């Protein structure tokens, strides 16, 4: 709890709300000696993203001695009207592709292997350069130089998945790969660059995975171990930010805390910030939940499925036995109209023939204010969305900085923000 004091209490960094990027930033900056206060609800933000590992996340776990969070590879299925491909389950992926894509399995496997290698090069380059690049002229030049030095061609940030898929002669190969990347990212193929696909596949195709519950517990434990302070955000009344960048947090009973740097870690926390402009909220997808599914779900279904169609769907089975339920994530960008519930249920009936799904939308208070964006969400320039104040003392670390990348995108956001803050406080970078 935040205790009253006769004079304002000073922190280096205050973080409002929950996001994976915010919690990683809290633990890492506290480890480096920053005085950090986190104001949040007890329950972490649930974005619905699949929790996958990455080379960058594994490096952070090394810094935090978090080896116990690592698990086996992330299992999921790719489902089309003709194919069912299990990834990271029993058979090697090459054998799955040989069975389901007899005419193009060599070409598809080579493409995925190339993406896995490319993803490693990109992650190495981004780690060495301190995170995501901004859009300024000199930042772009430095990014090009580091890409060249890291054996990452600039064209992979410009070429879209749609253009790359056009080079495959087998239509079934195009469908499987389009379902894989568009279904997991909930982005249309024109908005996914090859670099995006490489980072996505670097997480999905790794030989190691991550326990999200284990990661949450690790970050909570390490933050407290490094003398970080936590308090419920319900105690906060207002954040006052002066034109000069001075930040005061006003609590009940006239308590005041000051901080040099403020991080808004999710959209709901922005309500406390007077006059602070954040990047426009981008509504990337809509989520639906089913009623209880009972015990009549096919044993052939994996807990995570990407389903082909227009649009592709991302399915997650949650819970166990009688409490088993289904989450359906539906992309909105690149679609002519939002999906109807009865249409979704019709599409899902072949997968759940003996179950009454009874889908209902999962809405939040922020959804009505969101906009559906049609502009690409690319890696170059993504750092600008972390620094909405253009060099001032307020940062944004929500899950929608790079929403199509899921967990790897939030990790990239955290690395970028951590290094920026550590530089400001004249402490060694990660």
Query: Which domains, and CATH codes, for the chain?
Result: 9-68+210-280+377-424 (3.50.50.60), 92-205 (no CATH), 285-369 (3.30.70)
Closest C-alpha to 46, from 323, 268, 201, 260: 268
Q: At what angle do helices 171-185 and 194-204 cross, to 10 degrees?
A: 80
pLDDT in tens, 183-222: 999 999 999 999 999 999 999 999 999 999 999 999 999 9
User: Model-level pTM greater than 0.75?
Assistant: yes
Residue 41: per-residue pLDDT: 83
- Residue 311: phi, psi to the nearest 5? -85, 170
Residue 346, classified by CB atoms within 10 Å of its CB into exposed (0-12), middle (13-18) or buried (19+), is exposed
Q: Which two tokens stand for residue 67?
A: 């080896």
Question: How far is Cα 14 from Cα 247, in angstroms, rounded to an integer?
Answer: 10
pLDDT band for position 253 (50/70/90)?
confident
Structural tokens at position 180: 């894989």
pLDDT tens by residue, 77-132: 999 999 999 999 989 999 999 999 999 999 999 999 999 999 999 999 999 999 99
Asked whether residue 50 carries a pLDDT value surpassing 80, the answer given is yes
Q: Which residue has the higher pLDDT, 63 or 339?
A: 63
pLDDT at 73: 95
Query: What is the chain's mean pLDDT, rounded?
Result: 88
Confidence of residue 55 (pLDDT cuts 50, 70, 90): very high
Mean pLDDT of 151-157: 94
Of 68-82, 193-207, 228-242, the range with the lowest mean pLDDT is 228-242
3-state secondary structure (DSSP) of residue 330: strand
Mean pLDDT of 167-186: 97
CB 157 within 8 Å of CB 121: no
Report whether pLDDT(68) > 60.
Answer: yes
Q: What are phi and psi of 221, to 5 degrees?
A: -65, -45
In degrees and rounded to multiples of 5, residue 112 shows phi and psi of -70, -40
| Spatial contact of 333 and 52, defined as CB atoms under 8 Å apart | no
Number of H helices and E strands in the chain, helices first, is 11, 16
How many CB atoms neighbour CB 421 within 10 A? 23
Q: What pLDDT is stored for residue 21 in this prediction?
A: 95
The tens digit of pLDDT for each residue in 382-422 reads: 888 898 765 578 899 988 888 889 999 999 999 999 999 99
Contact 240, 248 (CB under 8 A): yes
165 backbone dihedrals φ, ψ, rounded to 5°:
-65, -30
Does the pLDDT of residue 310 top 60, yes or no? yes
pLDDT digits (tens, 9 = 90+) for 344-374: 999 999 999 988 899 999 865 444 444 444 4
H-run or E-run covering 416: helix 407-424
Confidence band for 139, pLDDT divided at 50, 70 and 90: confident
Please give the structure tokens belonging to residue 322. Answer: 């009688």
């Amino acid at each position: 709890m935040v205790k009253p004091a006769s004079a304002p209490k000073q922190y280096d960094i205050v973080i409002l709300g929950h996001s994976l990027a915010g919690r990683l930033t809290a633990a890492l900056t506290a480890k480096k000696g920053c005085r950090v206060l986190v104001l949040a609800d007890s329950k972490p933000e649930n974005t619905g993203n699949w929790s996958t590992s990455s080379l960058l996340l594994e490096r952070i776990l090394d810094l935090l001695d978090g080896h116990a969070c690592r698990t086996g590879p992330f299992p999921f299925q790719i489902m089309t009207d003709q194919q069912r491909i299990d990834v990271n389950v029993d058979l090697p992926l090459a054998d799955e592709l040989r069975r389901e894509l007899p005419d193009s399995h060599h070409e598809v496997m080579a493409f995925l292997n190339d993406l896995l290698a490319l993803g490693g090069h990109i992650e190495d380059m981004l780690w060495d350069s301190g995170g995501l690049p901004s859009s300024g002229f000199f930042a772009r030049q430095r990014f090009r130089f580091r890409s060249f030095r890291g054996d990452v061609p600039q064209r992979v940030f410009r070429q879209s998945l749609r253009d790359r898929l056009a080079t495959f002669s087998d239509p079934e190969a195009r469908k499987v790969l389009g379902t894989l990347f568009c279904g997991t990212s909930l982005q249309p193929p024109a908005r996914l660059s090859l670099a995006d696909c490489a980072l996505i596949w670097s997480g999905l195709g790794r030989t190691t995975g991550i326990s999200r519950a284990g990661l949450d517990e690790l970050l909570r434990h390490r933050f407290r171990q490094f003398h970080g302070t936590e308090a419920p955000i319900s105690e906060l009344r207002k954040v006052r930010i002066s034109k000069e960048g001075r930040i005061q947090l006003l609590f009940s009973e006239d308590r005041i805390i000051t901080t040099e740097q403020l991080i808004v870690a999710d959209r709901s926390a922005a309500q406390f910030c007077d006059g602070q402009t954040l990047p426009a909220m981008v509504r990337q997808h809509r989520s639906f939940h089913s009623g209880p599914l009972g015990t009549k779900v096919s044993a052939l279904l994996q807990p995570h499925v990407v389903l082909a169609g227009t649009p592709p769907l991302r399915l997650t089975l949650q819970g166990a036995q009688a409490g088993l339920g289904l989450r359906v994530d539906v992309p909105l960008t690149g679609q002519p109209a939002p999906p109807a519930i009865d249409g979704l249920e019709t599409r899902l009936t072949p997968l759940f023939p003996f179950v009454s799904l009874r889908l209902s939308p999962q809405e939040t208070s922020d959804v009505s204010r969101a906009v559906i964006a049609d502009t690409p969400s690319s890696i170059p320039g993504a750092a600008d969305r972390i620094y909405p104040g253009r060099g001032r003392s307020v940062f944004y670390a929500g899950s929608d900085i790079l929403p199509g990348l899921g967990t790897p995108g939030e990790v990239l956001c955290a690395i970028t923000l951590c290094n920026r803050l550590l530089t400001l406080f004249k402490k060694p970078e990660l």
